[in-house]
Structure 1
Amino acid sequence: MEVEAEAEGLSGRMKVVKAGLLTTLQDLGRDGFRSSGISSGGAMDRYALRIANLLVGNEEGEAGLEITLVGPELEIDTDLLIAACGAYMEPTVDGEELPMWRPVFVPRGAVLRFGRAVSGCRVYLAAAGGFGVPRELGSRSTDVRAALGGLAGRRLAAGDALSCGAGQGSAAPSRWAAAWLAALSRLGEAAATAPQGAGRRLPWAAAPWFAPPAAYGGGDGEDGIVLRAMPGSEYGQFSVAAREALFRERYIIAPASDRMGCRLIGTPLTRLSRAELLSHGVTPGAVQVPPGGGPIILAADCQTTGGYPKIAHVATVDMPLLAQAKPGDAIRFQPVTLAEAQRLDRQREQDIRMLAAAIRSRQP
């Protein structure tokens, strides 16, 4: 099958030259298995991944590369339509800056590089047609601790090759994506033959429009990133001083933070009761407080059960802000009611649906 695909010019590979700090394949997670102790996982910043996929004509939940803090170097051996959304890591194609938040054509042989995170923490790279890795328990997301999903259940390493661009195991680009790939390819060829092009084909060609990253608007305050949060189920077990401090003080993301949870450095939160809780279900966004008083915000790969009290829960609409907070960044909590958090979440989903329709309406 692979030989036949190559003969037809459909095979494609993205080779990992350098892997970066932590680069994994992630989609929107494997739902429905938490009762069996299996984390839902998936992209830390679901918003950025969803938009990146829309920009290359994929379904929102298709798998893409999640790149954390220090990016990889990737060599592409097929013409490809890509989109990068999320943190800014000085991405380049053959040394030329790569535009973000829009569809970009890159030609066969191009080398894509991501540097260190200048702003944000994670960038997501989507490719038209997705990446050709099998689904495990309904998802392609990588759970490194469980060695599940992605590429052999691990982070990418130098020498790995991912099927993409209608390569073996990946889907053919949508008709919309194929049209943009063809149009942008012609644009690059035309520029290469122009007098100023000196016969050199441009390293990329991008659509003249982009998707504004609305999820991050208003997230940064004078004292850091603002996360709206509701009182947790054990909120009343904390002292009045602790409850006031939670929504007044500034916290710093600790270096020990990861995809399981973001540890916070700041004013310890004192619980009035010393009684241990029975282990109970927990989900991403819960703000747990261990005995030391330092809060932990649970993230995408969090455990399915826990016994620490929950003083608060971050609103789903602000989880992309948490995903883009890197060690050393400051955050503050802002109180929000459950009803308002649900309204904000519905509004976000409506905005994404409208954006998806606007992107589909863009024809080359």
Structure 2
Amino acid sequence: MIEILTSPAFNTIQDLGRHGARRFGVSTSGAMDPVALAAGNALLGNDDNAAGIEIQMFPFRLRFSADATFALTGADHEATLGGSSVRPWWCTRAKAGDVLAIGTLRRGARVYATFGGGIGVPRVLSSRSTHLRAGFGGLDGRALQAGDVLPLGGSPCKADGRFDFGAVPPDVAIAGSGRADDRVLRIRVMRAGEYELFSEAMQATFWSTCWKISARSDRGGYRLSGGKLTLDAPVEMRSHGVVAGVVQVPPAGEPIIQMSDANTAGGYPKMAAVIQADLWRLGQAAPGSFIAFSEVSYQDAVAAMAPVNDYLAKLRATAGLYRAL
């Protein structure tokens, strides 16, 4: 068991998402950075889909009620366990009574705390992910708060396995995943269904603008500012299915990128779609930061997932060898 001691708003339990329920109007939810969550689970020997805590508001503190193993991945951050420093992208052991404190972020937007055996809250529609707007999943469908007690799904950690090692973060390990410079994160996209409705001038604006992620952004969508994408004439559209990564353009002209808690349908024109291989990078972009779009083909989008899958596969294999030492 773990007890939450300090947790500002919007920190939630997440796994890799609620798949197969969109036809019922239920969003996928799940980790905004699924690579970080899967990597933390790989370090611990968990299933990739084991539930952890997505922490996006700080400081965050919890107490271990029993000996346990845990990992911290995601954003570069400062953390301590029982007063001693814990590195990011590292797994280690905690003893009963130890307090884990996660403080200042140095880069990125979200830290993922995973635990040996995962967090054992009930599944809702085959997922433990919290959907705040719908009010289900996770712990009573809400954000974590001080005094919450969470069960861990596994038995107490064994004394003979090794749990004091780390991983190279994916933005370092995967070629092409880093920032283009210190200011702008370049995101790969494909053209979407209504791209051709926009004039050549508006299309050029989309590609050339350094878009700022608005403070009004959340897990439902990233609102972008920095330019206006307008149509020469209004277009009436029926609502259609949307998924995470779709870039829609409402009448005001400022794009919205649909994210993990996005609605399952919408009627705004679709300008582009972020490729799956870059969604985790986008999930670590904080409000106030800048992004720019680069166009890729469908074939390139599919191929871009291979390095991500290879990274996780190698991490699982290497972590398994370390734990066996």
TM-score normalised per structure 1? 0.84
For residues 126-141 of structure 1, the aligned pairs below 5 Å read 126-141=114-129
Higher CA-based Rg = 1
The answer for the alignment partner of 1:65 in structure 2 is 53
Describe the SS at the equivalent of 1:327: coil
Describe the SS at the equivalent of 1:89: strand
For residues 1-364 of structure 1, the aligned pairs below 5 Å read 13-164=1-152, 170-172=153-155, 178-179=157-158, 182-183=160-161, 207=164, 209-215=165-171, 218-222=177-181, 223-362=183-322, 363-364=324-325
- The CA deviation at 1:183 is 4.9
- The CA deviation at 1:17 is 0.9
Q: Distance in 2 between matches of 1:210 and 1:171?
A: 21
Q: Distance in 2 between matches of 1:71 and 1:342?
A: 38
RMSD: 1.5
Structure 2 unaligned residues grouped into runs of 5+: none
- The CA deviation at 1:353 is 1.7
What amino acid sits opposite 1:219 in the alignment? G
Q: Distance in 1 between matches of 2:23 and 2:240?
A: 11
Q: Distance in 1 between matches of 2:76 and 2:57?
A: 10
Q: Is the 8 A contact 1:20 1:73 kept in 2?
A: no
What amino acid sits opposite 1:72 in the alignment? F
Q: Distance in 1 between matches of 2:39 and 2:61?
A: 22
Q: Distance in 2 between matches of 1:360 and 1:331?
A: 36
Describe the SS at the equivalent of 2:309: helix
- The CA deviation at 1:308 is 0.4
The farther-off stretch of 131-140 and 87-96 is 87-96
Which has more strand, going by share of residues?
2
What amino acid sits opposite 2:168 in the alignment? P
Q: Distance in 2 between matches of 1:243 and 1:273?
A: 15
Q: Is the 8 A contact 1:70 1:89 kept in 2?
A: no
Q: Report how many aligned residue pairs link the two structures.
A: 320
What amino acid sits opposite 2:178 in the alignment? G
Q: Deviations over 1:176-197 (max 9, x none)?
A: xx45x5455xxxxxxxxxxxxx
- The CA deviation at 1:115 is 1.2
Q: Is the 8 A contact 1:27 1:139 kept in 2?
A: yes
TM-score normalised per structure 2? 0.94
Q: Is the 8 A contact 2:60 2:103 kept in 1?
A: yes
The farther-off stretch of 339-348 and 300-309 is 339-348
Q: Deviations over 1:120-151 (max 9, x none)?
A: 00010000011121111111000011111100
Q: Is the 8 A contact 1:69 1:117 kept in 2?
A: no
- The CA deviation at 1:212 is 1.0
The farther-off stretch of 66-75 and 155-164 is 66-75
- The CA deviation at 1:94 is 2.1
Q: Distance in 1 between matches of 2:275 and 2:19?
A: 19
Larger relative CO (CA 8 A, sep 6+): 1 or 2?
2
Structure 1 unaligned residues grouped into runs of 5+: 1-12, 165-169, 185-205
